[in-house]
Chains A and B, each alone.
Chain A
């Protein structure tokens, strides 16, 4: 069975600093995708970044990068130069690359950015 683990219930960072949100996963599939979503206090789910299991390079999207270590089964999200607007809940998710599957989510990490 697939599983996503986010061990940090809360993280605190100051503006302009970088922060890493941890995510480990467990799967027996060879082909899968890893996703990060942001949920601000308003409640919507915002897609941030995707990494495929066969992608050789770490994914990057603006200030977001995904530190993918396949052997360790980790997919940490790195946010560079944190901003106050980054304060939110962050979810790591995984989906198998096969028909009829759904994303499974971790329990989330609450990030608080202070000035």
Chain B
């Protein structure tokens, strides 16, 4: 199916464990993003990528690692999960920067609970 998909949709993990959230898009969009959504904070940018092998930090990158070896995949890893990382995580992609093409297309979200 065309689009952007995240997996898993729901995840419960223990404090200190490493967990990876997957994101895959079929449009060959250059730009991909990871946001976290928390009550009272809206969506905050964790990391983004302008192309394969190019990544950059967003507003809240601490505790997260990303990679982008292929254009279509942009996994997000929590190296040692903490309770403060309990959140809903959204992956998004866009065709380019500039104008209406900056519109971000979102995955369904991953609800992560760290216990």
Residues on A facing B (Cβ under 8 Å): 6, 33, 35, 37, 43-45, 47, 50, 52, 91, 93, 95-108
Contact = CB atoms under 8 A, between A and B. Distances in A.
B56 A100 contact: yes
Given A50-B103, A96-B97, A103-B104, 13 more contacts: A33-B100, A43-B88, A43-B109, A45-B92, A47-B104, A52-B99, A95-B102, A100-B50, A100-B56, A102-B31, A103-B94, A106-B42, A108-B42
Contacts of B45: 102-104
B40 A97 contact: no
Interface string B90-112: 10101011111011111011000
A18 B96 CA distance: 34
B56 A33 contact: no
| Most A CB within 10 A of own CB, among B31, B42, B94, B104 | B42
B108 A91 contact: no
Contact of A45 (B50, B96, B106): B106
Interface in B40-86: 40-45, 48, 50, 56, 58-59
A45 B90 CA distance: 9
Nearest to A100: B50
Of B33, B45, B96, most buried by chain A (CB within 10 Å of CB) is B45
How many B residues touch the partner, as a band?
Answer: 20 to 34
Contacts of A52: 99-100
A107 B104 CA distance: 17
A88 B65 CA distance: 32
B31 to A, nearest CB: 7
Contacts of A95: 97, 102
